[in-house]
Structures are given as structure tokens and as C-alpha cells.
Structure 1
Amino acid sequence: MTPQELDARIVRYGDLVPCKTAFIDAHTPGSDQKENFTIIGGGVSESPDQHVHIKDTPGFNIGAAGQPPKCRNSLHSHRTAEVFFVLKGRWRFFWGRWGTAGEVVLEEGDIFNIPTGIFRGFENIGTDYGMIMAILGGDDAGGGVIWAPQVIEDARDHGLVLAETGRLYDTKKGEALPDGVSPMPLLTDEELKTYPEPAAADVIPGFVARYWDLMALAAGEPARVIGPDAVLKDRPGFEVDFITRGSIPEDATTTDRHEVLMPVRGHWKLTVDGVATVLNPGDTCAVPPGSARSLAPAMTGEASLYRIRNTDDPAGATKAG
């Protein structure tokens, strides 16, 4: 691998290209300041304006959401896994048909494997611009977003119409649905009954892992975060490990699967096939199978990162309840 080839597999935090019109709530007050980022794979954006940094998918997608204080992402659901960890800020995640079934507050480094089949939303409750990083199951990220009916209705009142094809049309710009294309239908009352309303006590213990707990678990070896034998037991089509300076895998490990490295704290020296670089918090690096890879903290002090690897399990996630 040449230095140029390695650079092409790294998306730097400072190079992230935001999209402010990615989803149906882009004009809705309270959600109209959010920025969405598609880092690896096509993601679930509904806008042709969404920039994709690395198009090849390793069996899952990587994205991010950046939001100023008090900005929220509207209630939606996915057919496959949606996992978030907090890179910057303080975030409230809430769920249920109206967002009132339960909630949890996540701090920097915390991770949430949101159960499939429930409506979920999130908001930045910190005092500064915040960023959460996302892992979405499957190469096609589950075929898109399923919105709570009130989200579609609110969006229409503010000029955005979602077509049955999954593409957005902005009536404020004079756009209209093409001939023969209908608006996305609202979920019926019968369909809505199939979406669970789990309480926080049924979600938090099995779906949330705290940063400082993982720091303690990773004192001698990588902490298994998501997987059949992990803190959050699941088979969503990928597995997640948490690595600190005290649990670095042995040098020159040859990867047998796709591996994505996402630093949370500190600076990491990464060497792939003899080519060295430094990864910083917010960077995302996709290491291909068959590569000889080694990791080491580049500086003293706290250092941690999440490692995501594909598995042979079908894309999905555990349901709550």
C-alpha cells in the first residue's frame, strides 16, 4: 500500500463534508440546523446533495450527525442496526411513537446500540456544537428511513415532500413530484401497532455501554462492546471493540476482515503494510482485509478508539422488550 492509497482510505474529521438537506426534517423548526455526514457507504440520506466520502461498503455504513445545542433529529426507525457513539457533547436519545416511551443521556465516548423496530430521535443537550458517529447495518443501510407520521406531515407544512422512491423534493425551490410518483404513504394505525414502546429499564442495560466502564474493561485487552460474547450481546452484521493504550493488539496483525478504526481520544500511530500515519479523534480509517496493521498511541495521555469489523451474520439487531 502506498501513502496515497492509505490516505484515500482515511476520512479526516476536518475534511468532513456536511449536508444540511439530507432528511425530511431539514426545514422543520428545531431540526433545521443539523448537519449529516456520510463517511463510508451510501448511508440513508434522502438528498442527492449528500456527499459520500468512501463509497465502498465493508458490510456496514459509517456516518455522523453534527448539531448545535437544542437541535434534534426527528423520530424515525430503521430495519437494520443503528449504533451511535458520542464524539463531542452531551446527547439525549429518546424513543417511542411520540418519543415519550423512554430516554437516555449519553456523554462523550458512550455508545448506544439502538434496538431495531422502534422509533428513535436524539438531540444535543450540551452547550456547544456536538457530534455523534453512527454505524448502520448492511451495505444498503436497511433500505432507508421509516419516519413517524407526524414527521412527514410537519415536513410537508414546511415545504419538503418525501416521494415513495425515498427522494426529497423541496417545494420552496419549485420542485414537484415527477409524474407517476406518489408521496411516501403514512404508516397506518395497524402498522404503527407493530412498533414497540419499551421502557428505559428494558433498553439501557442491554443496549448502552458507558465510556469509563469500557476504559476499565479494556485495561489488558480490547473490550468486546457489540457481539455475541460482548457487553452488548448482539449479531447486527458487525462487531465493535474498544481499544485503549493498555489493550493494543499485537503489532503487525494481519487483518482477515474489513476493519474500521475510529479514535475517540488521543492520537494514534497507524501502520498499514509498512506505511505510517496518525489518526486523530473524529478521523475514520477503513483498513482492507489482508493488510498488515499495527497501532500505537502517538503521544502520552488518554487514548481510546472504537474498532468495527464485519461479520458473516445477516444485518440486523436485537429488539428490545
Structure 2
Amino acid sequence: MQISQTEMEKRIVRYGELKPCRTAFIDAHTPGSNQKENFTIIGGGVSESADQHVHIKDTPGFNIGAAGQPPKCRNSLHSHRTAEVFFVLKGRWRFFWGRWGNAGEVVLEEGDIFNIPTGIFRGFENIGTDYGMIMAILGGDDAGGGVIWAPQVIEDARDHGLVLGENGKLYDTKKGQSLPDGIKPMPLLTEEELKAFPETPVQEVVRDYVARYWDLMALAQKAPAKVIGEKALLRDKPGFEVELLTRGSIPEAAYVNERHEVLMVMRGHWELAWDGGASVLAPGDTCAVPPGLQHSLVPAMTGEASLYRVVATGEKAGRTWRG
């Protein structure tokens, strides 16, 4: 298999070329959340707005996205039917969860990764001093069918002019928009339905779902650190596997992966070479490597170098697995 330089560059999304959407979700007008920027890098993501730009539309069995927020900006409580994994690219972030967001919280630093338990309400906030960015991996080609919002989020949004239709689309009453004929507002979850969303203890979350960057760097000195997978540090089968590679754990020779592979650079510059060309990936860049392509990775500079490698497993994305 061979791919030209031009074709492969179309499969690389540069950090500096990311196109944000500021109206992606229902809390886009809600004070405290109205400065969010959402990015859809690979796949359609879960945006509720037609304004969302999609960089690479084809999905490899999962979606890649990102969220950028200034200090003190937060993302409102929501849930997903499939996996949602974040790693911190820039800044310092507080993740919180539960029906009211007070069941527990954890603070993540740059490089830390969080495999958020499926089926719980979760939110996050930039608690750093500068603009921050977190990268996201969402399970499934359709990212689990959208977002499930805590009832108070929908009510707050309505008070600030945004209405979510039962079709999963947003309508901005401040712009004169209204629900189309035959489309009703998204119904609020009932108290009975809310009982299905667990209040996961903080000790369990920190133990089973969070991996710290410098721990992974130590594990990846001679071989890739298996971060998420059936036999990984965070044992799970979300439809994809995640590894951390560093300078000491890169493959010694070019290799071929018969499954979809996505490279997400955390630190340093990496030279990606393939049968047909070569390119340098920088921090924040995302590259979708097609199955069957022989390729190699080499740090292009001295100093710290790390990247997350995400590989599709072919399994149907589902609820978090424990065993």
C-alpha cells in the first residue's frame, strides 16, 4: 500500500489549523460556559450545532475531538452512552461528576488521561491560569448517539435563549429561531430515569479510570505503555485501545497496522514516514493512519517526546467493562 504526500497530509489535522465552534452545545449561552470552543477532528462528534466544522469526516470506529476553554470556563453536566476519554494537552483541569456534580472530582495535569465511566453525568472546568485544551476520544462511529444532559442544564439553557429539540438540534431564540413544526423540545429526564445514572465514588474513579502522565512515561521507557484496553493499566473494552509512546518505546523498524490507527502528539516533534512520503507532527497534531500502510515514527528533536496512539479494536462500543 502506498499513499502520496498530498493524500496523507489530508489525514493530518494540525493544531494551529483547528477550527472551533462556539455554539456546539446547549450551554453555549449559559454564563460560565459561554466561552467554550469545541473541535471536531475525526468523525461527526456529538455537536448539536450545524456550525460545527468537521476536519476528517470518515470515522475509524471512534471519534476524535477537543475542547478549548479559558480559565474558569466549564462544560456542563452531561452523559454519553459510549466511552469518553480525555487527556490534557494544555493547562490544568478539574473533572467532576454526579447528578449535581458533587459526587466527586479529580484534577488532571498536562498529559494525564481520564477514561470517564460510561453512564455518569460529568463536567469539566479549566482551573489553570491560561487557555487550556483537552483532547477527546469518543467511542463509536456515531459517538454514541449524542449527549444526554442533566435536566438543570436544559432548563438553564432555555432561560438564556437556547432550546434543544427532540431531534438533537439546537434552536437559538435570540436569533429568532423556533422549533420546526412537529419537533418537540427534548424531554427532561424523569426522577425514575435519573436513578440509572450512578454516583460513582471518587476512590473508584481515581483507582480505575485515571492514569497520570509521568507514571505512563516511566512505564513507556522500553515498550509502549498500554493505557486503555483489556489488558491495560485502565482495563476496558470501549471499541479502541490507547497506548503512550515515548522516545524509548517507539518501534525499531517500520510497521504495518491492519486496524485504523490515530496518532495524537502530546510532547515533542515526531517524524512520521510512510511508503510514499514523510511529515513532522507537532504537539496537538492528530494523524489518521489508514490500515495496511507501512510507517515509522522517530522523534525529530532531542528532549521530551510522547504521543498517544489510539487503535480501533473492531468491537462495538458499549458500556465500560470491568473484569
Per the shorter chain, which TM-score range?
over 0.9
Sequence identity, in percent? 78
Q: Which amino acid aligns with 2:113?
A: I
**1:224 corresponding residue in structure 2:** 226
Hey, what's the Cα distance between the residues in 2 that align with 1:54 and 1:134? Answer: 15
Hey, what's the Cα distance between the residues in 2 that align with 1:105 and 1:314? Answer: 30
**1:49 corresponding residue in structure 2:** 51
**2:275 corresponding residue in structure 1:** 273
**1:21, distance to aligned residue in structure 2 (A):** 0.1
**1:274, distance to aligned residue in structure 2 (A):** 3.6
Assess if the C-alpha contact under 8 Å between 2:223 and 2:245 holds in 1: yes
> Are 1:101 and 2:88 matched, yes or no?
no
Q: Which amino acid aligns with 1:210?
A: R
SS at match of 1:226: strand
Q: Which amino acid aligns with 1:227?
A: G
**2:287 corresponding residue in structure 1:** 285
**1:312 corresponding residue in structure 2:** 314
* TM-score, L = length of structure 2: 0.98
Structure 1 unaligned segments of length 5 or more: list them.
Answer: none
Hey, what's the Cα distance between the residues in 2 that align with 1:153 and 1:251? Answer: 55
Hey, what's the Cα distance between the residues in 2 that align with 1:97 and 1:251? Answer: 49
After alignment, is 118-127 or 273-282 more displaced?
A: 273-282
| 1:4-25 superposed Cα distances (whole Å, 9 cap, x missing partner) | 1011000000000000000000
1:195-274 aligned within 5 A = 195-274=197-276
> Are 1:80 and 2:82 matched, yes or no?
yes
Hey, what's the Cα distance between the residues in 1 that align with 2:124 and 2:153? Answer: 14
1:183-202 aligned within 5 A = 183-202=185-204
After alignment, is 130-139 or 193-202 more displaced?
A: 193-202
Hey, what's the Cα distance between the residues in 1 that align with 2:205 and 2:321? Answer: 9
SS at match of 1:246: helix
SS at match of 1:239: strand
SS at match of 2:75: strand
**1:5 corresponding residue in structure 2:** 7
SS at match of 2:248: coil
2:298 aligned residue (276, 296, 300): 296
| 1:160-182 superposed Cα distances (whole Å, 9 cap, x missing partner) | 00000000000000000001100
**1:157 corresponding residue in structure 2:** 159
**1:312, distance to aligned residue in structure 2 (A):** 2.3
Assess if the C-alpha contact under 8 Å between 1:263 and 1:283 holds in 2: yes
Hey, what's the Cα distance between the residues in 2 that align with 1:319 and 1:262? Answer: 24
Hey, what's the Cα distance between the residues in 2 that align with 1:180 and 1:5? Answer: 43
Structure 2 unaligned segments of length 5 or more: list them.
Answer: none
Q: Which amino acid aligns with 1:16?
A: L
Assess if the C-alpha contact under 8 Å between 2:121 and 2:150 holds in 1: yes
SS at match of 1:49: coil
Assess if the C-alpha contact under 8 Å between 1:117 and 1:319 holds in 2: no
SS at match of 1:201: helix
Hey, what's the Cα distance between the residues in 2 that align with 1:118 and 1:89? Answer: 24
2:184 aligned residue (176, 182, 185): 182
**1:125 corresponding residue in structure 2:** 127
**1:259, distance to aligned residue in structure 2 (A):** 0.4
Paired residues, what number? Answer: 321
* TM-score, L = length of structure 1: 0.99
Cα RMSD for the two superposed structures = 1.1
Hey, what's the Cα distance between the residues in 1 that align with 2:71 and 2:179? Answer: 34
> Are 1:17 and 2:23 matched, yes or no?
no
**1:246, distance to aligned residue in structure 2 (A):** 0.4
Q: Which amino acid aligns with 2:255?
A: T
**1:319, distance to aligned residue in structure 2 (A):** 6.4
**1:221, distance to aligned residue in structure 2 (A):** 0.4
Q: Which amino acid aligns with 2:225?
A: A
